[in-house]
Chain A
Amino acid sequence: MPPLKMNAVAWGLLAVFGIAAPFLVYPVFAMKILCFALFACAFNLLLGYSGLLSFGHAAFLGTAGYVTGHTVKALGFPPEVGILAGTATAAALGYVVGSLAIRRSGIYFAMITLALAQMVYFMCLQMPFTGGEDGLQGVPRGKLFGVIDLMQPLSMYYFVFAIFLTGFLIIYRTIHSPFGQVLKAIRENEPRAISLGYDVEKYKLTAFVLSAALSGLAGATKTLVFQLASLTDVHWHTSGEVVLMTLLGGMGTVFGPVVGAIVVVGIQNYGANIGEWVIVITGTIFVLCVLAFRRGIVGEIAALFKEVSPAATEGGEPDQPG
């Protein structure tokens, strides 16, 4: 089997399902999956490729959502500008949080991001423009570039798909650039990367800001899809959810977070008439995943491919999560 085979298959599947999705499933549901998939991919850039476990990524998702919602609803921004405003805010917030958090590593890094995200949560709860507990509703989708009516489910879907692809390609390029190689080096052995002369802090911070910005892009898009921003998006549950998605799909794989997002969002939506049992079932799935196939869904598939053809696939290659 020639190399890159699995990657080609995955790209093909992504393109086919991405284009066909609104005809197969409910479009809003498909858009929700895309938003969370982008969010998970952005998170994976940090966890899977830089080895930084942030427990506060919901802050970027939610803040961007509120900013987009507010600028579009109250200030009358067109949707594309609103999304950019949200993304820029998330990037700025990412810079602040990142500058503080990357001074520590491991569990301390996770706790600092969690603490800062909780601060953001309480700010969103208190600030008047967010609507506190009630959230921000009735955000108009508006017209893209003043022409395309986003109230049409199909045009909205393909708009979201385009945003997802853009974000996904940025991540893909980043991972496979020299910059991405340095990130992986830092993840594997930070002292060695330092001794080789790399400014590790700068690399980490850049990765953090990029991840925050892309999470913000996902959050901003999500606000337009649902036409609302709520506290759920900044709550630490969401930060945990994205960890779950990434691990379930396969940490450190390009397509893993997408699969993880589909699984988690799918369970949320189609979780059958079993009420609270769904939580137990998700928990069981997760425990099984961690115990039996630790590389995640995509990671395991990639490993299978590898067994069949030792010419390793590149994009699906699981970088040992440990």
Chain B
Amino acid sequence: MKRKLLSALICAALMLQVGATAGAATKASDGVVKIGVLTDMSGTYSDLAGPGALIAVQMAVADFIAKEKPDFKIEVISADHQNKGDIAAIKAREWIDREQVDVIVDLVTTSTALAVMKVAKEKNRITLVSGAASTPITNEQCTDINVHWTYDTYALAVGTGKAVVKQGGKTWFFLTADYAFGKSLEKNTSEVVVKEGGKVLGHVLHPFPAQDFSSFLLQAQASGAQVIGLANAGNDTINAIKQASEFGITPKQSLAGLLMFITDVHSLGLKTTQGMYLTTGFYWDRNDETRAWSKRFFEKKSRQPTMVQAGDYSAVTHYLEAIKAAGTDDTQAVMAKMKATPINDFFAKNGKIRVDGRMVHDMYLAQVKKPEESKYAWDYYNIRQVIPADQAFMPLSESVCPLVKK
């Protein structure tokens, strides 16, 4: 008995945790701008952010030094927050206290982003969130020195929801992850669907995380809805898509992934995902500018960048340019400069940072190509529509951020 217990213990312990990436221990001094990339280096989101985010930031720094020849030094350090809020908070605090980090970038997973934003606000440091998705970042929990750069759940839900209804997907059924994130994603989307003249036939909540979606998918099938909205993320979305295809639900009913990245499409394959609509802030193959940048990224990572990684590059570049323009790395001065300057690069055209910290830029509605349409590696999307910046994000009038004066 005891022996069995012990082997159970060993198994459990082996499945565990652990793994932090300590930053390079360079002593900081004045005249150094230190950028901390805090991201998921080894877990669920390491594909869409992770090491690629670090590469993007390093590219941004190298490009900035080559182009602007600044009179200050720039250093980049990184750490793995393991998607845990407490590890992210302790790392951020340590970086600011001991390493004089000036800005913290990426912050995939909302819980870590919110935790670090609180620490950074207390210590008066800028945060540039690219990885996390939830809207509280620029609503209830907004701060004046945080920018939410790339996307949020509202933009994705609204973009995809609207487009799918316009394409004729009038009746919807939601498969929703049973926690705050999934529910808010469903709520945002169904509001848009109803506004556009569609109908929501029902929803089913699935536990988070779930492996077996059969009973939920059968309910969705029985509803007869044209579109099954997937209000979940990560592995749940991937499992649901795979199983929907195994059950023969697709392509009779179509799926709408409300939070999907190009890396998800890459790992699922075009055969399973073909025809799906999704909203993205960046697609590498959109024009010459994006292709040129992505080609350089690909040389380093052997993968095309996700919108999160491209957003990291864009955010860091904008931040460094603001320091040069302001002539100081003082938090308030740099943030004022960042908000005053429009963002024009390969990622965003005429992007603006709003008072709630939301960076608004055009989003893109993409449809996943059929396998036979795909001509070369990573040729995955047809961009169906450009969603203009002022329609893509939650309007300021709906924001509950205390910084928004009404």
A contacts, CB < 8 Å to B: 26, 28-29, 32, 53, 55, 106-107, 110, 122, 125-126, 131-135, 137-138, 222, 226-228, 230-233, 237, 240-241, 243-244, 247, 264, 267-279, 282-283, 286-287, 290, 322
- Nearest to A65 among chain B residues (CB) is B86
Residues of B within 8 A of A277 (CB): 19
Contacts of B157-196 to chain A: CB distance below 8 A: 178-181
Contact A275 B17 (CB under 8 A): no
The complex places the Cα of A107 from the Cα of B2 at a distance, in Å, of 9
Query: How near does chain B come to A221, taking the closest CB pair, in angstroms?
Result: 13
Q: Please pick, from B4, B19, B141, B180, the residue contacting A137 in the complex, using a CB distance under 8 A.
A: B141
- Report chain B residues within 8 Å CB of A264: 18
Across-interface contacts of A53 in B (CB, < 8 A): 5, 9
The 4 closest A-B pairs by CB, nearest first: A278-B19, A132-B180, A230-B85, A276-B42
Q: Given contact pairs A55-B12, A271-B21, enumerate 12 new A-B contacts (beta carbons under 8 Å).
A: A26-B98, A53-B9, A107-B8, A110-B8, A133-B180, A135-B114, A271-B19, A271-B20, A278-B18, A278-B42, A286-B10, A290-B6
Chain A: minimal CB distance from B36 (Å): 14
Main secondary structure of the interface of A (DSSP, over half): helix
Q: Are A237 and B16 in contact (CB under 8 A)?
A: yes
Chain A residues within 8 Å of B98, by CB: 26
The answer to whether B13 touches A247, judged by C-beta atoms less than 8 angstroms apart, is yes
Tell whether, in the assembled complex, residue B84 and residue A232 are in contact, meaning their CB atoms are under 8 Å apart.
yes
Bound Cα distance from A106 to B6, whole angstroms: 11
Complex Cα–Cα for A222 and B87 (A): 12
Say yes or no: A269-B20 contact (C-beta < 8 A), given A137-B115, A240-B15. Answer: yes
Residues of A within 8 A of B21 (CB): 271-275
Given A134-B180, A237-B17, A276-B42, residue A226 in contact with residue B89 (CB < 8 A): yes
How far, in whole Å, are A26 and B119 apart by their CA atoms in the complex? 16
8 contacts between A and B (CB under 8 A): A29-B94, A32-B90, A133-B179, A138-B118, A222-B86, A243-B12, A277-B19, A278-B19
Cβ B20 vs Cβ A226 within 8 A: no
B111 at the interface (CB under 8 A from A): yes
Cα of A286 to Cα of B13 in the assembled complex, Å: 8
Q: Are A227 and B89 in contact (CB under 8 A)?
A: yes
Check B136 for interface membership: any CB of A closer than 8 A. yes
Name the distance in Å between B127's Cβ and chain A's nearest Cβ: 13
- A28, A107, A232, A244: the one contacting B94 at CB < 8 Å is A28
The reply to whether B1 and A244 form a contact with Cβ atoms under 8 Å apart is no
Q: Which residue on chain B has the smallest CB distance to residue A139?
A: B118
The answer to whether B178 touches A126, judged by C-beta atoms less than 8 angstroms apart, is yes
> Given A126-B179, A271-B20, do A134 and B110 touch, yes or no (CB 8 Å)?
yes
Contact A275 B22 (CB under 8 A): no
For the complex, give the distance between the alpha carbons of A273 and B51 in Å: 11
**Which of B12, B13, B80, B178 has most A Cβ within 10 Å?**
B13
Contact status A279-B17, CB under 8 Å: yes
Residue of A nearest to B109 (CB): A133
Minimal beta-carbon separation of B114 from chain A (angstroms): 5
The answer, among A122, A243, A276, A282, for a CB contact under 8 Å with B9, is: A243
- Residue in B closest to A55 when the chains form the complex, CB atoms: B12
CA distance A277 to B18 in the complex (A): 9
Instruction: Name which residue of chain B comes closest to A266, CB basis.
Output: B20
Instruction: Flag if B208 contacts A226 (CB, 8 Å).
Output: no
For the complex, what is the distance from the CA of A170 to the CA of B86, rounded to whole Å? 27
Set of chain A residues within 8 Å of B279, measured between Cβ atoms = none
- A309: min CB distance to chain B, Å: 30
Question: How many angstroms from the CA of A274 to the CA of B21 in the assembled complex?
Answer: 7
Cβ of A133 and Cβ of B111 under 8 Å apart? yes
Chain A hits for B90, CB < 8 A: 28-29, 32, 226, 269
B291 adjacent to chain A (CB < 8 Å): no
Minimum CB–CB distance from B210 to chain A (whole Å) comes to 13
From B178, which residue of chain A is reached at the shortest CB distance? Answer: A126
A160 to B117 CA separation, bound complex (whole angstroms): 24
Beta-carbon contacts of B25-55 to A below 8 Å, as 1s and 0s?
Answer: 0000000000000000110000000010000
Chain A nearest CB from B24 CB (Å) reads: 8
B134 on the A face (CB < 8 A): yes
Nearest CB on B from A236, distance (A): 8
Residues B89 and A279 in contact, CB atoms below 8 Å apart = no
Residues of A contacting B222 in the complex (Cβ-Cβ under 8 angstroms):
none
**How far apart are the CA atoms of A158 and B20 in the complex, in Å?**
26
Q: Which residues from A are CB-within-8-Å of B117?
A: 137
Beta-carbon contact of A271 and B18 below 8 Å: yes
Of the residues B19, B94, B115, B179, contact of A132 by C-beta under 8 Å:
B179
In the assembled complex, the Cα of A232 lies from the Cα of B22 at a distance in Å of 20
CB distance from A59 to the nearest CB of B (A): 16
- Chain A residue numbers with a CB within 8 Å of B299 are none
Contacts of B266 in A (CB 8 A): none
**Residues of chain A contacted by B84 (CB below 8 angstroms):** 230, 232
Cβ B42 vs Cβ A275 within 8 A? yes
Q: Give the chain A neighbours of B118 by CB distance below 8 A.
A: 137-138, 227-228
- The interface residues of chain B lying within 8 Å CB-to-CB of A287 are 10, 14
Inter-chain contact B111/A231, CB cutoff 8 Å:
yes
Whether A244 lies near B13 (C-beta < 8 A) is: yes
Q: Do A279 and B16 contact each other (CB < 8 Å), given the known contacts A32-B90, A228-B115?
A: yes
Instruction: Tell me, rounded to whole Å, the shortest Cβ–Cβ distance linking A190 to chain B.
Output: 12
Residue on B nearest A53 in the bound complex, by CB: B5
B4→A107 contact, CB < 8 A: yes
**How many Å lie between the Cα of A243 and that of B86 in the bound state?**
20
Q: How far is the CB of A151 from chain B (nearest CB, A)?
A: 9
B180: nearest residue on chain A (CB-CB)? Answer: A132
Chain A min CB distance to B41 (Å): 5
CA distance A13 to B100 in the complex (A): 32
